[in-house]
Amino acid sequence: METAAKQLQPWKGIINQYARYLPVSDATPVITLCEGNTPLIPATNFVEAIGGKFELYLKYEGLNPTCSFKDRGMTMAMTMAKERGAEVVICASTGNTSASAAAYATRANMKCVVLLPNGNIALGKLAQALLYGATTVAIEGNFDDALRIVIELGETGKVEVVNSINPARIEGQKTASFEICDQLGRAPDFHFLPVGNAGNITAYWKGFKEYYSVKKADRLPRLFGFQAAGAAPIVDGAPVAQPNTVATAIRIGNPASWQGANNALKESKGHIAKVTDAEILAAYKQIAQTDGVFVEPASAACLAGLIKCHQAGMIPEGSVITATMTGHGLKDPDNAIQNAGFEPTIVEASKEAVMKVIGL
Ligand SMILES: *Cc1c(COP(=O)(O)O)cnc(C)c1O
């Protein structure tokens, strides 16, 4: 079995691939679903459509095992929890963390409890948590309320918190920067990503710096982060009590890694700005219809940001830009159907009827 798998599948997940950069030893019981190794897709049509004179590559994290980048952090967090002998893991989530935690906990034979904001979770994500068998609790509150409760429960010492306040999450997530450099053969000039709880921007910056320090990358990119206008505490410089946006994955009013984001922005000479829901949805539709890349609305926030930065003349000609497409579009079918702008045309079952619809 092992030999056949080795030949068919050389990639065995991010811990195996990048062990020398991670806090693991030969004795560490690695919990993996073979996450990582996601494609870096050139978005040439999108760039042309917006009149850009730069290169754009999308790190399509929707192709991870539970369809978001959270799997990179979760393989590390669950591995560390297992190594410490934890039996119950818990997280607060806008959806993707819970999907990922539920899947990896199952794999590790651990019990998983997820706290979600009631009514504000995309359908696909809820389906995942339930089917993977997590104890799913819907809080009458928002993500920030759920995280506060999770932290209090963590302090009892009876459960292991696998939110990104757990440093193992950041360690795992930094491997996306390594992969980008390995795939591009260089570091990008700019890296764009959406910002919610700010763990990922913190992790990307850590990854780019570490790869640069071991000479695996030739430069350090500038990090450009984007928040939704209704949930933009870092941009506005103050927590948002009632965050609101169609991009539920970044519907967060008081980011746990706020400080990490500030460091990344300062050290990389980066930029953080907000985009409206209308801008997010326009970019969401555009990237699907120009380049065939279906992402969730939160992911598109950074493309909306790129359009604005380009229009403001902030992107020098010839720049190499990468952007994290944080989650798969199928996570949120409701938004896709509402915003597609088309509905299937219903006709009788004949060749003539179909030809009429397509204008032949
Ligand atoms: C978690 C998540 C984000 C936000 O990442 P943070 O690390 O919380 O800033 C963005 N998009 C998607 C799809 C996510 O799941």
**Predicted confidence (pLDDT) per residue in 258-269, tens digit:** 999 999 999 999
pLDDT in the model for residue 9: 76
pLDDT in the model for residue 343: 85
Strands in the chain per DSSP E:
40-42, 55-60, 88-92, 111-117, 135-139, 160-161, 190-194, 222-228, 271-275, 320-325
CB 201 within 8 A of CB 264: yes
Q: For residue 6, name the pLDDT band (cuts at 50, 70, 90).
A: low
Q: Is the CB of 296 under 6 A from ligand 1?
A: yes
Q: Is the CB of 177 under 6 A from ligand 1?
A: no
Cα distances from 54 to residues 44, 188, 279, 303, 320, in angstroms, run 9, 11, 21, 14, 6
Among candidate residues 167, 216, 162, 186, the one with its CA nearest the CA of residue 22: 167
Average pLDDT, the chain: 96
Q: What is the pLDDT averaged over residues 76-94?
A: 96
Q: Is the CB of 199 under 6 A from ligand 1?
A: yes
pLDDT in the model for residue 3: 63
**194 CA → ligand 1 middle, Å:** 7
CB 14 within 8 A of CB 35: yes
Torsion angle defined by CA atoms of residues 323, 324, 329 and 330, in that order, rounded to the nearest 10 degrees: 150
Segment 313-349, tens digit of pLDDT: 999 999 999 999 999 999 999 999 999 888 899 999 9
Q: Is 190 exposed, middle or buried (0-12, 13-18, 19+ CB in 10 A)?
A: buried
pLDDT in the model for residue 4: 65
CA-closest residue to ligand 1 atom 13: 327
Q: Is the CB of 121 under 6 A from ligand 1?
A: no
Instruction: Say which residue the tokens 């890296």 belong to.
Output: 191
Cα 151 from Cα 90, distance rounded (Å): 9
Segment 280-296, tens digit of pLDDT: 999 999 999 999 999 99
Higher pLDDT, 5 or 159: 159
Cα 70 from Cα 346, distance rounded (Å): 39
Q: Is the pLDDT of residue 203 over 80?
A: yes
Cα 357 from Cα 360, distance rounded (Å): 8
Q: Is the pLDDT of residue 164 over 80?
A: yes
**Per-residue tokens: 184:** 């591009």
pLDDT in the model for residue 341: 82
Among candidate residues 93, 122, 94, the one with its CA nearest the CA of residue 112: 93
pLDDT in the model for residue 1: 46
Among candidate residues 221, 197, 196, 195, the one with its CA nearest the CA of residue 208: 221
Q: Is the pLDDT of residue 240 over 80?
A: yes
pLDDT in the model for residue 190: 98
Higher pLDDT, 35 or 340: 35
Which atom of ligand 1 is found nearest the CA of 252? 8
Q: What is the pLDDT averaged over residues 60-85?
A: 97
**160 CA → ligand 1 middle, Å:** 21
Q: Is the CB of 324 under 6 A from ligand 1?
A: no
Higher pLDDT, 140 or 10: 140
CB 184 within 8 A of CB 323: no
Q: Is 211 exposed, middle or buried (0-12, 13-18, 19+ CB in 10 A)?
A: buried
pLDDT in the model for residue 10: 85
**218 CA → ligand 1 middle, Å:** 27
Cα 155 from Cα 177, distance rounded (Å): 32
pLDDT in the model for residue 8: 72
